[in-house]
Amino acid sequence: MGAEPDVATLRATVRGAVLEPGDEGFDEARGTYNLVVDQRPALIVVPADAQDVVTVIRYASHRAMRVVPQRTGHNAEPLGDLAGAVLLRTDAMREVRIDAERRRALVGAGAKWEDVVPSASELGLAALHGSTPDVSVVGYTLGGGLGWYARALGLACNSVTGIQVATADGVLRWVDPDVEPELFWALRGGGGTFGVVTAIEFRLYPVTEVYAGVLFFPWERSAEVLRAWEAWTRTVPDEMTSVGRIMQFPPFPEIPEPMRGKAFVLVEGVYLGDEETGAQLMEPLRRLGPLLDTFAMVPPAGIAELHMDPPQPLPYQSDSMVLTDVTQADIDRFVDAIGPGSGSPLVSVEIRHLGGELDRVRRGSGALSRMPGSYILFGVGIAPDPAGVQTVRQWLATMKESLRDQAGGLYLNFTEKAVDPAEIFPVDVYERLRAVRASVDPNGLIRANHEIPAARD
């Protein structure tokens, strides 16, 4: 315990890269999607395969170091100080296997949605990905996975059929509904606390085309459009998943000219159904006269970038909360607080419509069996320096304050700052997760962004 890590032995044992501070590639490997985060682990390993992961776990365990699995660092901020830890970057484990007949995908820990969605789409299949192709399938799914088909098909974690995971005891396990069901349950929505996932298998759905797009309206019409959207969400079937959003596009050269440096209020939507019905459903919002209307039938791959999330790393701050409901008066308060004329610098504030399948608890579902609330709020602003961080945080607080009456809890994946993990789960779920942690990692070898502490006797 506490002995100087013998990095040379580790290097000689694993197939992947082992990087120490000062090594070429170390700084690149410690980088994350959020440039506000400056993580400085003692060691970085980029495992080539599951066996490398097991070797790293045994090595770290022997030397009382903590193991921090990470892919993109999209949700790295809550981790805090990584001094003395081994950062395990899964970037090289990008294998994707699609079994079209069984409608299943088996993907490595490093696979991003961009590695899965286009190939599945070519086979007439859709996966339950979210708003950006750039996050890892594993990180997204362990935290729940709220995507474009969510109101019809539920959370991604509840379409998982099996997981390969290396646990803190250095054992590589396959868990599924029949094998170690309790660990399988915890991994599906409980986050990355319970081991290093090396591969994940999940269901794909037969979808050749969806009716999807964005309506862009002038920013000044934010209250009117979001009010109309809120009323409209009460009328749509579960097959329609949508977002009401205010966007102030930054003046970045990579943003297409019609949007660059301009502000809009938007309605984004994906309808799992035919064009005629989709068009009928959109009619009440179309009648408002959008500046731009991109709704059309597209293959599943066509919605991967519908939400226009930036592909390149940025310095940013975000905040979020689940909303029990949203009323017309709430929309007014929200728009007054962060809409036109408020002075808000937030690049994007969005309200996603929940409900439908997200609200139904199915037998055999994981730790996040349902999304609480009827809507979820997420806001983000660019924070290029410490003063910018403070400014954006204040505006995010103003955003949340405007909807305080509807505060309905936190969603793990959208929680990008350190919180008490007990706030993320209902009490009974949290206690059950703590018991699973105690059984698989009582000494806390694995470090997750929203780590569940082991239950104590």
Ligand X SMILES: Cc1cc2nc3c(=O)[nH]c(=O)nc-3n(C[C@H](O)[C@H](O)[C@H](O)COP(=O)(O)OP(=O)(O)OC[C@H]3O[C@@H](n4cnc5c(N)ncnc54)[C@H](O)[C@@H]3O)c2cc1C
- Under the rule (CB under 6 A), what is the footprint of ligand X? 33, 69-76, 90, 109, 130-132, 135-136, 138-140, 142-147, 191-192, 196-197, 309, 413, 448-449
Q: Tokens 């400085």 correspond to what residue?
A: 40
Give least dist CB 287 to ligand X, A: 28
Give least dist CB 309 to ligand X, A: 4
Residue 107 or 228: the one with the smaller Cβ distance to ligand X is 107
Residue 138 or 382: the one with the smaller Cβ distance to ligand X is 138
Rounded alpha-carbon distances, angstroms, from residue 287 to 225, 229, 266, 284, 346: 11, 12, 14, 5, 28
> Reduced to 3 states, what is the DSSP secondary structure of residue 136?
strand
Give least dist CB 136 to ligand X, A: 3
Residue 228 or 448: the one with the smaller Cβ distance to ligand X is 448
What CA–CA distance (Å, rounded) separates 102 from 81?
43
CA Rg, the chain, in Å?
A: 22
Residue 318 or 344: the one with the smaller Cβ distance to ligand X is 318
Residue 110 or 340: the one with the smaller Cβ distance to ligand X is 110
Give least dist CB 1 to ligand X, A: 24
> Reduced to 3 states, what is the DSSP secondary structure of residue 378?
strand
Residue 177 or 311: the one with the smaller Cβ distance to ligand X is 311
Residue 147 or 379: the one with the smaller Cβ distance to ligand X is 147
Positive or negative, the CA dihedral 140, 145, 147, 153 is positive
Positive or negative, the CA dihedral 151, 240, 334, 292 is positive
Rounded alpha-carbon distances, angstroms, from residue 363 to 146, 356, 366, 370: 19, 16, 9, 11
Residue 244 or 340: the one with the smaller Cβ distance to ligand X is 244
Burial of 263 (0-12, 13-18, 19+ CB in 10 A): middle
Give least dist CB 401 to ligand X, A: 23
Q: Where are the alpha helices (DSSP H) in 188-291?
A: 222-233, 275-286
Q: Tokens 């790393």 correspond to what residue?
A: 313
- Quick one: DSSP state of residue 373? S
Q: Where are the alpha helices (DSSP H) in 63-191?
A: 113-122, 137-142, 150-153, 181-187
Give least dist CB 446 to ligand X, A: 7
Give least dist CB 8 to ligand X, A: 26
Residue 141 or 221: the one with the smaller Cβ distance to ligand X is 141
Positive or negative, the CA dihedral 123, 138, 135, 360 is positive
Give least dist CB 146 to ligand X, A: 4
DSSP assignment of 166-192 equals E-TTS-EEEE-SSSSHHHHHHHTTS-G
Give least dist CB 267 to ligand X, A: 16
What CA–CA distance (Å, rounded) separates 4 from 41?
15
What CA–CA distance (Å, rounded) separates 452 from 430?
8
For residue 304, give both structure tokens: 């991967």
Residue 228 or 271: the one with the smaller Cβ distance to ligand X is 271
Closest chain position to ligand X (CB): 139
Residue 78 or 218: the one with the smaller Cβ distance to ligand X is 78
Positive or negative, the CA dihedral 452, 69, 62, 164 is positive
Give least dist CB 328 to ligand X, A: 26
What lies within 8 Å, CB to CB, of 18 at 6+ separation is 7, 10, 11, 43, 44, 45
Give least dist CB 422 to ligand X, A: 17
